[in-house]
């Protein structure tokens, strides 16, 4: 079997090896992580020294239910990052054919292939489907009518910027799993926290696969604090939308054509993406290119100090 290559953003070590500099000199725009993260709360000493307790987990699950308006019929599982769930979900059903509309990021395809699944061509019969909503990298939104197969995965890792577009109500349907990422919208990827919401039987089996104490105590406390801070979320959505529009103007003024994206990352047609990536990398700004389209360049948002450097690099 030929396995899908797992190319992804965040590979800053490779950029440093090629273009030099120290890590703290670089601006990493290759990911879609909020550059102004949620302010870390005080974490209790016990969260660091004791095994995570069920009470802390229950508080996190309750906060997640409220924040995402989870249907009563759906179960919620906290996981050590959405990638951990992506790696295990294909094992929840007998291997068959899976539909993953392209282009999209390739972690799902690689995981299904590793578990013995085969890719279904467009329109062909299939047993499972994966829809990244909104899609990475072009920001496409899906409809409930698009969800097909006995196992339906809706990856909403970037949907917290558009809560009105969420398909969370589908989590009440048997065979459906909705993924949520904590690292993207809250900008705390290092906390390694994510959620799987959906079919209680599938959630129970996934929980067994991951084993006890899958989520660290500090992550439980940080997650509750963040999910309960709805004013921060509202303010952040507005700021991200403003900054995304600002990035579009910067890039289109330099000749790039906007294709799409979300307010956490933007996708442009720049003609020669490798050339643009190299030009920016010489200024220690790292961006994302795609092996399947040499014209596409994806940028995350700079932090407050990064805008001036981006302007200089594109001058």
The tens digit of pLDDT for each residue in 111-131 reads: 999 999 999 998 999 999 999
d(CA 10, CA 30): 6
Burial class (CB in 10 A: 0-12, 13-18, 19+), 122: exposed
pLDDT at 64 over 90: yes
d(CA 195, CA 162): 17
Q: How far is CA 247 from CA 93, 104, 242, 254, 299, in A?
A: 42, 22, 9, 11, 9
d(CA 70, CA 77): 12
Please state the domain extents for the chain.
12-37+231-314, 45-228
Q: Average of pLDDT values for 138-159?
A: 98
The reported pLDDT for the residue numbered 1 is 37
Percent of the chain at pLDDT above 70?
A: 97
Topology of domain 45-228 in CATH is 3.40.640
Residue 83 backbone dihedrals phi, psi, to 5 degrees: -60, -35
Q: How many CA atoms are closer than 13 Å to the CA of 164, on its beta-carbon side? A: 2
Q: pLDDT tens digits for 12-39?
A: 999 999 999 999 999 999 999 999 999 9
What pLDDT band is residue 11 in, cutting at 50, 70 and 90? confident
Q: What is the CATH number of domain 12-37+231-314?
A: 3.90.1150.10
Buried-exposed string 143-181: b where 16+ CB fall within 10 A, e elsewhere: eeeebebebbbbbbbbbbbbbeebbbebbeeebbbbbbb
What pLDDT band is residue 296 in, cutting at 50, 70 and 90? very high
Radius of gyration of the chain (CA): 20
The reported pLDDT for the residue numbered 9 is 65
Q: Which of 77, 90, 98, 309 is nearest to 193 (CA)?
A: 77
d(CA 117, CA 288): 28
Q: Average of pLDDT values for 47-69?
A: 97
Q: pLDDT tens digits for 210-260?
A: 999 999 999 999 999 999 999 999 999 999 999 999 999 999 999 999 999
As a whole number, the mean pLDDT across the chain is: 96
């Amino acid at each position: 079997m030929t396995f899908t290559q797992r190319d992804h953003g965040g590979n800053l070590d490779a950029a440093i090896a090629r273009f030099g500099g120290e890590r703290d000199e670089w601006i990493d725009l290759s990911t879609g992580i909020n550059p102004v993260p949620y302010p870390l709360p005080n974490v209790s000493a016990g969260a660091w020294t004791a095994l995570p307790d069920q009470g802390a987990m229950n508080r996190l699950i309750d906060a997640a239910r409220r924040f995402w308006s989870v249907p009563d019929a759906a179960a919620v599982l906290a996981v050590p990052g959405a990638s951990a769930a992506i790696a295990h979900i294909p094992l929840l059903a007998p291997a068959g054919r899976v539909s993953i509309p392209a282009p999209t990021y390739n972690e799902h395809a690689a995981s299904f292939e590793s578990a013995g699944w085969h890719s279904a061509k467009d329109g062909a019969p299939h047993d499972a489907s994966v829809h990244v909503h909104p899609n990475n990298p072009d920001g496409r939104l899906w409809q409930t009518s698009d969800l097909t197969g006995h196992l339906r995965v809706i990856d909403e890792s970037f949907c917290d910027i558009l809560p009105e577009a969420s398909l969370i109500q589908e989590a009440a349907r048997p065979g459906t799993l909705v993924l949520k990422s904590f690292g993207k919208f809250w900008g705390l990827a290092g906390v390694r926290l994510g959620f799987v919401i959906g079919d209680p039987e599938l959630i129970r089996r996934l929980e067994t696969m991951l084993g006890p104490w899958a989520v660290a105590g500090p992550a439980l406390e940080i997650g509750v604090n963040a999910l309960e801070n709805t004013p921060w979320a509202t303010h952040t959505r507005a700021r991200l939308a403003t900054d995304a529009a600002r990035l579009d103007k910067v890039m289109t003024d330099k000749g790039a054509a906007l294709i799409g994206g979300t307010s956490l990352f933007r996708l442009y047609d720049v003609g020669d993406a490798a050339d643009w990536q190299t030009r920016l990398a010489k200024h220690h700004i790292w961006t994302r290119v795609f092996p399947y389209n040499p014209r596409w360049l994806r940028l995350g948002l700079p932090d407050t100090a990064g805008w001036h450097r981006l302007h200089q690099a594109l001058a």
